[in-house]
Amino acid sequence: MTTREKLAAIRGLMKEHGLAAYVVPGNDPHASEYMASHWCEMQWLSGFSGEAGTMVVTMDKALLWTDSRYYLQAGIELKDSTIELMRESDVDCPSVVEWISGLEVSGLVVGVNPEMFCVNDYKEWSEKIALKSIDLIKPLWTEGRPAIPQDKLYPYSADFAGESVESKLARMREQLAKKKADAMIISALDEIAWLLNIRGNDVEYNPVVISYVVLEADKCTLFVDANKIDSPAQNYLDFNNVEVMPYEAVFDYIRGLKGSVLYDGARVNEALFEAIPEGCQKINAKSPILIDKAKKNAVELEGERIAMRQDCVALTRFFMWLDEKERANGEWANGERLTEWDLMEKLHEFRMMGENFVEESFGTIAGYKGNGAIVHYAATKDNCAEVKPEGMLLLDSGGQYLDGTTDITRTIWLGGRIPQQAKLDYTYVLKGHIALARARFPRGTRGNQLDALAKQYMWEAGITFGHGTGHGVGHFLGCHEGPQNVRTDNNPTALEVGHIISDEPGIYRTDMWGIRTENLITVVPAKQTKATTTEDEWLQFETLTLCFYDTSLIEMSLMTEDEIDWLNAYHVRVYKEVSPLLNNEEKKYLAYKCAALEL
C-alpha cells in the first residue's frame, strides 16, 4: 500500500471503533531507541525513516512530530504524502497531547497500543484525554512485516564485562530489599543484556536480545523465544540460576505475582503494568540497573581504550587511502568516481580488520557538502551523492567491539581553497569541543550545567545547533544510553565517575556543509592542581577517543595558547598509542597528521 492508502485504511478502522484520533509512536514494547524492524510501525505508516517520531492520524489530518535532527530528512521523505511535519523542537510547536486536546470533537477518544507506550507517558496522556487501548497497525501490516528476530543469544564473558552475573544479581536484589520490593520487571533490552551478561543480534547495531526479565529475591526468569537458546547458552543460564520461559508468557507470569512490584515507569510499557495484580503494591522508580550500568567499571573502561585504539587504526587507514587518491581540477584522477556509499563501505572494510570487531555501532553518516547539514543523514547505495575532491565531508561512525563501543565524528576538507566561513565554523566547533573536554566541575554537576561550554563560541557568533551536545554510551551495548547526557534539557542526573558521554558540538549550513567534531569522554576524579574554596570532590573528563583532527580547517587567529597546547598534547597521545599498531608507511602518515601546531 502507498502512504495514502494506509492512511485511508487506518481511518476506516478508526471509524469502526469510534476513534477521533490514533497515535503511532516510534517505539517498541521495550522502550528502545533502535528497534527491530518488526516494530517500526511509525516508519511503515508514514514513509519517514528517522528513528524518532510520533504520528497522529485523525479523520481529516495526518501529522508527524519529530525533532530538529530530522527536519530536513522528514521534509524530503514526507513530500506528497499529505502528512504535515510538526517541528517539535520549535518553541511554538504544541506537544502531541496539547494538539489532540485542542480537537473540537464531541466525546473525544484516542486509540493507542499500550505495548508501545511507557507507563509514565500513558498516565500523563490519560489525565488529559480519553485513551482506548487498541492495536490498529497489526490488522493492516500483514504483508511484508518482518518477523521478530530469532537469532541466538550468547554469553558475554566477565573478562570483558568486568563483573559476574552472580555479583550483578546480588547487587540488584539488595536494591529490591532497600525498596521493599518482592519483584522487579525489566523490559529494556540493554538492561537485560547487562544484568545477565548476554548479547545477541536482534537489533541492528545493538548487540541485544529481545526478551523480558522478572527478578525476584529467590529467582530470576528470562522470557525469551526458545529458538534463541542453544545448548551452550542454556548451560550458561542454568549455571547462573536463570530460569527460561517463552517470550509471550511474561504477561501471565506477572499476573501471578504477589507482594510489591518495582518497575521503571519510563521504560516498562503500559500493557505490562496493567498485568500487575490489583492486590500488589506498585513501586514506580528509576531502574537501579540503568543507574549502575552507566557507571563503567575499570575493566569496561580499559576495554573502551582498547577499542578506541582499534578504531583509530581503521580511521587512519581510511583517511590515508582517501588522501592518497590523485586529484586534478576538482576531480579524481583517471576518471574515478566515488560516492558517499563507497566511503562508508571502505571505512567498514578497514574496521572489520580490527581485533574483536563485531559490527558498526550505528549506520555511518558520510555527508558530503550539503548532506552533512542533515544531522542524521543516511546515504544508501542507490541514493547517495558523488564525492569529489572539493568541499566538506562529515564522517560520523562507530564500531561495536567485544572490548567496547565507539562513536566518533571527524569533518575534513577535500580539495583546494577553503572558504573563510568554513574555517570560522570549524574553529567555533573545535573550541567548544575542547572547552567541554577540559572542564573541571564539582561532584553533583549535571550535564545541562556544562552544555553552554560547548556552545559559547558559536553563541558569540550568533550560531547554535539543535541536537544534544553529548549522549551516554554503553559498553558493547547501545551507542546511546542514559541516564546521563549533556544538553539544554534539565536532566536531574549528576555526572559521576565512570559515566561515558559524547562531546559533539556542530554547525550546519543548509546546502553548504555540516561540521561536527565528536569524541567520547569519561568522568574521572580531577587532579587537584588548584586550591578550592570548598571541600567538594572535583571531577573532570578523560578523552577516550583517539584520532587526529583536520588542522587545515583551523582558523589559528581564533585559537588560544591553551587550546593549541591541548591539541598538541592530544595528537602526541594519539601517535604514541596508535602508531605501534601501524606499518611504517601508516606511521609516517599518522605522524604528519599529528604534527604540532604553533600560534
Give, in words, the CATH class of 298-593: alpha beta
State the chain's mean pLDDT as an integer: 95
- Above 80 in pLDDT, residue 12? yes
Which pLDDT score is estimated for 533?
64
For residue 441, report the phi and psi dihedrals to the nearest 5 degrees.
-155, 150
pLDDT band at 264 (very low <50, low <70, confident <90, very high): very high
Which pLDDT score is estimated for 90?
84
Question: Starting at the edge strand that comes first in sequence, how are the strands of the sheet with 391-397 ordered?
Answer: 365-368, 391-397, 408-414
Task: Choose among 192, 176, 188, 448: nearest CA to 285.
Answer: 176
How many CB atoms are located within 10 Å of the residue 352 CB? 13
The Cα–Cα gap between 261 and 112 comes to: 25
In degrees, rounded to 5, the angle at the alpha carbon of residue 316 between the alpha carbons of residues 310 and 319 is 140
**Cross-strand partners of 339:** 386
Residue pLDDT, tens place only, 202-250: 999 999 999 999 999 999 999 999 999 999 999 999 999 999 999 999 9
Residue pLDDT, tens place only, 365-395: 999 999 999 888 889 999 999 999 999 999 9
- Above 90 in pLDDT, residue 69? no
Where helices occur in 443-560 by DSSP H, the ranges are 447-460
Q: Cell 500487575 identifies what position?
A: 276
> Prior bond to 207 cis, omega within 30?
no
The Cα–Cα gap between 82 and 87 comes to: 16
Q: Which three cell numbers stand for residue 114?
A: 499500550
- Above 70 in pLDDT, residue 589? yes
The Cα–Cα gap between 491 and 429 comes to: 23
The Cα–Cα gap between 109 and 428 comes to: 49
Q: With pLDDT > 70 as the criterion, what percentage of the chain qualifies? A: 99
Q: Which three cell numbers stand for residue 235?
A: 548451560
Can you give the pTM of this predicted structure? 0.93
Task: Choose among 251, 271, 274, 275: nearest CA to 113.
Answer: 271
**Which residue type does 170 have?**
A
H-helix or E-strand spanning residue 220: strand 220-223
Which pLDDT score is estimated for 143?
92
For residue 12, report the phi and psi dihedrals to the nearest 5 degrees.
-65, -40
Per-position DSSP letters for 455-471, written without gaps between them: HHHHHHTT---SS-SEE
Mean pLDDT across the stretch 35-64?
Answer: 92
Mean pLDDT across the stretch 43-52?
Answer: 89
Start-end of CATH 3.40.350.10 domains in the chain: 3-133, 154-286
**Which residue type does 90 have?**
D
Which pLDDT score is estimated for 80?
82
Which pLDDT score is estimated for 172?
98
Residue pLDDT, tens place only, 430-481: 999 999 999 999 999 999 999 999 999 999 999 999 899 999 999 999 999 9
Where helices occur in 47-143 by DSSP H, the ranges are 71-77, 96-101, 119-126
- Above 80 in pLDDT, residue 271? yes
Which pLDDT score is estimated for 327?
83
The Cα–Cα gap between 409 and 419 comes to: 21
85-90 LR contacts (CB < 8 Å, sep 24+): 89/466
Task: Choose among 149, 115, 116: nearest CA to 225.
Answer: 149
CB burial of residue 86 (10 Å; 0-12, 13-18, 19+): buried
Q: Cell 530530522 identifies what position?
A: 70
Residue pLDDT, tens place only, 81-134: 899 999 988 889 999 999 999 998 888 999 999 999 999 999 999 999 999 999
Which pLDDT score is estimated for 411?
98
Mean pLDDT across the stretch 352-359?
Answer: 97
Using DSSP, state whether 544 is helix, strand or coil.
coil
pLDDT band at 531 (very low <50, low <70, confident <90, very high): low
Which pLDDT score is estimated for 308?
98
The Cα–Cα gap between 563 and 11 comes to: 58
pLDDT band at 299 (very low <50, low <70, confident <90, very high): very high
Q: Using DSSP bridges, classify how beta strands 130-133 and 109-112 pair: parallel, antiparallel or unpaired.
A: parallel
- Above 70 in pLDDT, residue 532? no
The b-or-e profile of 512-523 (16+ CB within 10 A means b, else e) is bbbbbbbbbbbb
- Above 80 in pLDDT, residue 68? no
**Which residue type does 344 have?**
M
CATH label, 3-133, candidates 3.40.630.10, 3.40.350.10, 3.90.180.10, 3.10.310.30: 3.40.350.10
Q: Using DSSP bridges, classify how beta strands 404-405 and 399-401 pair: parallel, antiparallel or unpaired.
A: antiparallel
Q: Which three cell numbers stand for residue 101?
A: 486536546
Q: With pLDDT > 90 as the criterion, what percentage of the chain qualifies? A: 89
Report the number of secondary-structure helices (H) and strands (E) in the chain. Answer: 18, 32
DSSP state of 326: -
In degrees, rounded to 5, the angle at the alpha carbon of residue 434 between the alpha carbons of residues 565 and 422 is 100
Which pLDDT score is estimated for 534?
66
> Prior bond to 483 cis, omega within 30?
yes
Start-end of CATH 3.90.230.10 domains in the chain: 298-593
Radius of gyration, CA atoms only, the chain: 25
CATH superfamily of domain region 154-286? Creatinase/prolidase N-terminal domain (3.40.350.10)
Q: Which three cell numbers stand for residue 32?
A: 528502545
